Amino acid sequence: MESFLPATFHSKNSFKNVIKIITDALENPAVVEKTIDAPLLLFGLAYREVSRSIEVEPDAPTSAPVHLVKSTLGVKELEQLVTLINGFKFKPS
């Protein structure tokens, strides 16, 4: 059975908050120098969910929840995530 993020994730304000959390964490040397598992996990979950919302066909049969099918998140938000992660300079350990 697939897992999906809750409906509250699919609001524009919630997505902006996720972007801010990831950005703040990646800009914080204390987070980046030790472990960045949590911000990268959040990034991966957000990326997967936005990708799913883009790929789902509104009138096609799906096991996806209604909030994902009707999500307002799309290509613009996926581009924001890609830009965010591509802009981060990972330091070799």
Q: What is the mean pLDDT of residues 46-71?
A: 93
- 92 located within any domain: no
- The predicted-structure confidence for 24-53, as pLDDT tens digits, reads as follows 988 887 776 777 688 889 999 999 999 999
Q: Shortest CA distance to 80 belongs to which of 22, 9, 8?
A: 22
pLDDT category of residue 77 using cuts at 50, 70 and 90 = very high
Assign 64 to helix, strand or coil.
coil
Percent of the chain surpassing pLDDT 90 = 62
- 47 located within any domain: yes
Q: How far apart are CA 89 and CA 66, in angstroms?
A: 37
Assign 55 to helix, strand or coil.
helix
- 15 located within any domain: yes
- The predicted-structure confidence for 4-29, as pLDDT tens digits, reads as follows 999 999 999 999 999 999 999 888 87
Overall number of domains in the chain: 1
pTM over 0.85: yes
- 2 located within any domain: no
- 1 located within any domain: no
Question: Which residue range(s) make up the domain with 67?
Answer: 7-87
